[in-house]
Amino acid sequence: MAFIAHINPLFVASGFVVGFIVGLTGVGGGSLMTPILILLFGVHPAAAVGTDLLYASVTKTGGAFVHGLRRTVHWPLVGRLALGSLPAAVLTLLALNRFGGESAALNALISKSLGFALLLTAITLIFRRMLISRYAERLAALGDATVARLTVLTGAALGVLVTLSSVGAGALGVTALLLLYPRLPIARIVGSDIAHAVPLTLIGGAGHLLMGHIDLVMLATLLLGSLPGIVIASNLAPRLPERVLQYGLSAVLVAVSAKMLA
């Protein structure tokens, strides 16, 4: 009963909208949820990022479980990403801790990182097909050892970006893996990216929780709206044109990133 008394209908509605868009486009919720919390609800950037990281760890755990049952997770690939991302996430959290709780410097750093990550995500969504058609075959000629090293480096970059902004584990991670592993089926790319995101967002979220950056009631309220939104949109997605959805979302992300970087 105490939880029900603290439910904010606007948070539930926002969770539903974000879940619905994620279900339609497949783009990670951090690209949408974190800016909404900051720009519309005035949540401190650090609290918005930390809350969204735990939010992502919960939602992506279900996805990883399903992909695991379907055998669409390439576990050696997940291990390579994690080898770079998890240490990078821990080091980033230690660096953030030096800024102190809700300091202006910390919030400014997170806001700028979020703006950069949103812009990069929008560019990736727009030019993904061109990048893959131009560079995937060239990267396919690289040796296995080189690809493995590049995968670890990709994981490290994602670890820093996701811990700072909660953005990057979805669109950016999938695009990087499509370039590095062009012969791997898309289902295994997506499954591997989701499986890798679970420990990364969990560690990032846990670190922000220890620093006092997370509102657990707000987190539960967002999940209350987002989970039904994802289910409903997932059933509608096959009927809607993917390119139109992605271009529309990219335009929104560019506008939001401009606001965050201003």
Q: CA–CA separation, 12 vs 127, rounded Å?
A: 33
What type of residue sits at position 261?
Answer: L
Residue 30 lies in a domain: yes
The pLDDT of residue 70 is 80
**pLDDT score at 86:** 97
**Cα R_g (the chain), whole angstroms:** 18
Q: Tokens for 92, please give them.
A: 């980033």
CB 193 within 8 A of CB 80: no
Residue 127 domain-assigned (yes or no): yes
Q: Quote the pLDDT of residue 254.
A: 77
Token pair of 49 as six digits: 């990022």
In degrees, to the nearest 5, what angle opens at C-alpha 66 toward C-alphas 81 and 246? Answer: 70
Q: Is residue 4 part of a domain?
A: no
Q: What is the reported pLDDT for 193? A: 87
Residue 100 is predicted with a pLDDT of 63
CB atoms within 10 A of CB 68: 14
Taking the chain, what is the end-to-end CA distance rounded to the nearest angstrom? 42
SS (H, E, C) the chain: CHHHHCCCHHHHHHHHHHHHHHHHHCCCCHHHHHHHHHHCCCCCHHHHHHHHHHHHHHHHHHHHHHHHHCCCCCHHHHHHHHHHHHHHHHHHHHHHHHHCCCCHHHHHHHHHHHHHHHHHHHHHHHHHHHHHHHHHHHHHCCCHHHHHHHHHHHHHHHHHHHHHHCCCCCHHHHHHHHHHCCCCCHHHHHHHHHHHHHHHHHHHHHHHHHCCCCCHHHHHHHHHHHHHHHHHHHHHHHHCCHHHHHHHHHHHHHHHHHHHHC
**CB within 8 A of 108, min separation 6: which ones?**
none
Total count of domains within the chain:
1
Does residue 196 lie within any of the structural domains?
yes
Four-CA torsion 24, 15, 227, 62, nearest 10 degrees: 90
Q: Distance between CA 161 and CA 76 in Å, rounded? A: 22
Residue 3 located in a structural domain: no
Cα angle: 213, vertex 215, 216; to 5 degrees: 125
**What range defines the domain where residue 41 resides?**
9-261
Decide if 68 is inside a domain: yes
What pLDDT, on a 0 to 100 scale, did the predictor assign at position 156? 97
Structural domain contains residue 1: no
What pLDDT score was predicted for residue 150? Answer: 94
Cα 14 to Cα 8, 10, 77, 131, 183: the distances in Å are 10, 6, 34, 33, 38
Q: What is the pLDDT along the chain (262 residues), one digit of tens a residue?
A: 444 556 788 888 888 888 777 766 656 667 788 888 888 888 888 888 998 898 888 878 877 887 788 888 899 999 999 999 999 999 999 988 887 655 777 888 888 888 888 888 888 878 888 888 888 777 778 888 999 999 999 999 999 999 999 888 777 888 889 889 988 888 788 889 888 989 999 999 999 999 888 888 888 888 888 878 777 766 665 555 656 666 666 776 777 777 777 6
Q: Is residue 156 part of a domain?
A: yes
The pLDDT score that the predictor gives to residue 234 is 60
